[in-house]
Chain A
């Protein structure tokens, strides 16, 4: 065993400094702001007052916040669910050999390669009343008048979720596909000899072996989805009205439309707590799984 050396801490310094400046400092600063009455004038003038938990109380009472929480849960839940199902099916498909596999694999990665500005604008046009989705449905005779995908009371949140699912599929697919490739083929061969069918192979071999990968995907996917902002902002800006408001868009709106920086910070603190709780939840499942394997 190697002797303990302080030298190894030396090599951690760059990462630590980076984390302190770009991770810890903004978090603490945001936390401080959340306890102060900060608006544009007091922020610039440095005259903001401590107001305790007032920002939190106000934000929790705000009906738009409740709407944003509900929308965020819908958006995150549906996104994770569909991204996982489609990504998993694609991973299973691409685990086989077929012509032009490489080409199709590259095509699947396109959503990930495109700048969000491009995909967001595309989906806004796609879901417009005069957009591609309605044009196709109208020309095929499925509908007789345009569906208000992003201009009604209920559909906007579902439309932005659909766009986000499309964006997130490559991420889920590539991780699951890599995991699948690592499963030894012998396991499936033995199962086949024992009479297992395709479905049983998936249920009793593939999924249990991929469980750590799945939990990682869900954890990362959850973090990425809860903090999604640009796609929604480009498509609907949280509107019309507040119907597609998520925690992120509401926070931006509070800060840069209404200049309630304190309230916006308290919302971000709540959001960080939400993400940390979900991450702990997923990690605890992972730890349980690892200890059961040991």
Chain B
């Protein structure tokens, strides 16, 4: 009897192994990003994964969602233990660091096979950001920048006909709104994070200041302007402790502020169609500039996808094939419509305006938008950005004057580089800034 039981057990085990083996997919690819599967972008990416799996029955694609703030620390841990997933998303300012650290695979060969014209269809800033020394490492799939959102009805109530075009107009209008409506009019993100730095660039760069020369008058003037706005009570003090730029929008929706600096993504996040209809008075314009005749020079944000350098060679072709499907012009357009972001491919830019005309000011500004890492010392950008946001907070809270904090910051930033690298990156930032100013 025992032998019979033993034989039945062995047969069952063999069947289980054989059938699970058949049922298993041959190749498993993991895509790691900060697109929450419960929200539009995550859902959109996951639909693409299912579509790809249906067309490739032997491929299984897993989606790993990591919250925004934990994405870089997670990639770092994975890189040290050589367990970086096959396809990873990187926030665009961190690309340079990860390229230099060898986390991303050189995709130049694959791009040549794919068609060089596809790569050239990407707008220049995005190409610069995803490549290093003529090698391509990452593709920016969504773009964004900041603009000035305003509530027309609140401006009307305060007797203001048009939104501000210059810093002076912004200050005057804030003064008027505060007096008439008794609200703190201008929501500007001053938090202690990259987002705090991101918001400052429009003021810094439009005034001709550089992140690598913060002790220069152009930079100090920009901080002085915002510090004055903060101290005069035109910017809510609570902006120092918000957790993201998205925290500004509830104030804006509730009419607690009349202006806010925020990104185009808000139209796919808080300012959805029904909210916009209900409010009925939300408008967007370019960020005010120091003087008339100038144009706003903004930083561009957005997300990039690349392939891990530690990818199993047997999976590389499949990973690239999936990545390629995310990069098509058509998908680029649809993805950016879903997330109210800016297309990164020239061929998709014009089409999005017919779908989402409200993005017009953002698209106009994207002509002059600059990559943060290239403007801020490449692989050292993260550290420089953190020096900047701490300095802004110090000036706002009166720990020191804008001039004092920026002089100290400039000295600290200079100390990060060797003298040769500092000169090299300073010149790069100057060149990019001059090009953007001339356009």
Nearest-Cβ distance from residue B229 to partner chain A, whole angstroms: 15
The contact of A240 among B100, B256, B397, by CB within 8 Å, is: B397
Question: How many chain A residues touch the partner (CB < 8 A)?
Answer: 31
Interface of B is mostly: helix
We find that the number of chain B residues with CB closer than 8 angstroms to chain A is 31
B297 within 8 A of A: no
Asked whether any CB of chain B lies closer than 8 Å to the CB of A264, the reply is: no
Quick one: CB contact mask for A20-61 with B, threshold 8 Å, 1 for yes? 000000000000000000001101110000000000000000
In the complex, which residues of chain B have a beta carbon less than 8 angstroms from the beta carbon of A146? 237
Contact for B101 among A40, A124, A150, A258, CB less than 8 A: A40
Say yes or no: is A256 at the interface (Cβ < 8 Å to chain B).
yes
Q: List, in ascending order, chain B residues with CB within 8 A of A238's CB.
A: 192
B386 and A241 within 8 A (CB)? no
B394 at the interface (CB under 8 A from A): yes
Query: Is B72 within 8 A of A256, CB to CB?
Result: yes
**Does A128 belong to the interface (CB within 8 Å)?**
yes
Q: A151-B238, A237-B192, A257-B383 are in contact. Are A44 and B397 (CB under 8 A)?
A: no
Residue pair B236, A129 in contact (C-beta under 8 Å): yes
Contact with A along B79-97 (1 / 0, CB 8 A): 1100000000000000001
Chain B contacts with A in 251-274, Cβ cutoff 8 A: 256
Query: CB distance B386 to A150 under 8 Å?
Result: no
B29 at the interface (CB under 8 A from A): no
A128 to B236, CA, bound (A): 10
Max chain A CB contacts within 10 Å: which of B72, B193, B383, B398?
Answer: B383
Beta-carbon contact of A41 and B241 below 8 Å: no
> What residues of B have a CB within 8 angstroms of the CB of A239 in the complex?
192, 240-241, 390, 393
**Considering only CB atoms, which chain B residue lies closest to A240 in the complex?**
B393
Provide the B323-349 mask, 1 if CB < 8 A to any CB of A, else 0.
000000000000000000000000000
Contact A43 B237 (CB under 8 A): no
Whether the pair A242, B390 counts as a contact (CB closer than 8 A) is yes
From 217 to 257 in chain A, residues with beta carbon under 8 angstroms from any chain B beta carbon are 235-243, 253, 256-257
CB-CB < 8 A to B382: which residues of A? 40, 257-259
Pairwise interchain contact A151-B397, C-beta atoms closer than 8 A = yes
* Apart from the given pairs A44-B79, A239-B192, 17 other A-B contacts in the complex at a CB distance below 8 Å: A41-B101, A44-B102, A128-B238, A128-B241, A130-B236, A150-B240, A237-B241, A239-B390, A239-B393, A240-B240, A240-B397, A241-B390, A241-B391, A241-B394, A256-B73, A258-B386, A259-B383
15 pairs across A/B with beta carbons < 8 Å? A44-B103, A45-B101, A128-B241, A129-B238, A151-B397, A153-B399, A236-B241, A239-B240, A240-B394, A240-B397, A243-B399, A253-B386, A256-B72, A256-B73, A259-B383
The interface of chain A, by Cβ under 8 A from chain B, is 40-41, 43-45, 124, 128-131, 146, 148, 150-153, 235-243, 253, 256-260
